[in-house]
Amino acid sequence: MSGSIGNPRTWTARQAAGIGAAAVVIVLALGWVGWSATCPCDFTPGSHLFGSVNDEPVSDWTFANQVTLCQIQIRTGLLPHAINLNCFANTEGNLYLSCSSCDGKRWSGIAAADGWARLRLDGTVYPVNLTRILDPAELDMAWGARLDKLHSLAEPANPPAPLGSPRPDGWWTFRVVSRAG
């Protein structure tokens, strides 16, 4: 019986660096999935919106008025960017997103220029296009729809302005329209 002990495997610097790089990639990927699965949350943006995707066109968005906040994801280059926003439908079923003091925010400039987005409501993701509204009459109508929704919720995410209050300066609105997935 031979008492030889096998030689332990020795790692070259290149192999060790490759294993280390693979470990870093795995940790980053798991971190991104965890972050995307839990955010956007409060004031922390998220990335990819997970959920079942509804590719069917939506023409009546009034069900959105039962959801406290919606989440949108826009394209920003390498990683998507997702945030929480107030969304609300008017009585005709048109959906809008609102943003206060929106000028200069990164997401709003990209959304106004590109329009591509994904919207998540109660875990369902909808492919949509966003269009910034500039017409004062439509802005005022959307502001009224926002106030109606916020006053109808038992616990709105943001304290609503009083019903009938004028639309503040710097308040942006985007019209949301379904698009093919």
User: Is residue 149 included in any domain, yes or no?
Assistant: yes
Burial 149-165 (b: 16+ CB within 10 A, else e): bbeeeeeeeeebeeeee
User: Which CATH number does the domain housing residue 121 bear?
Assistant: 2.30.110.10
pLDDT digits (tens, 9 = 90+) for 82-137: 999 999 999 999 999 999 888 888 899 999 999 999 999 999 999 999 999 999 99
CB 82 within 8 A of CB 49: yes
Please tell me whether the overall predicted TM-score, pTM, comes out greater than 0.85 for this model: no
Short-list 138, 80, 146, CA closest to 110: 80
Residues ≥6 apart with Cβ < 8 Å to 124: 51, 52, 53, 54
List the domain range (segments joined by +) for residue 139. Answer: 52-178
User: Is residue 147 included in any domain, yes or no?
Assistant: yes
Query: How many domains, the chain?
Result: 1
User: Is residue 66 included in any domain, yes or no?
Assistant: yes
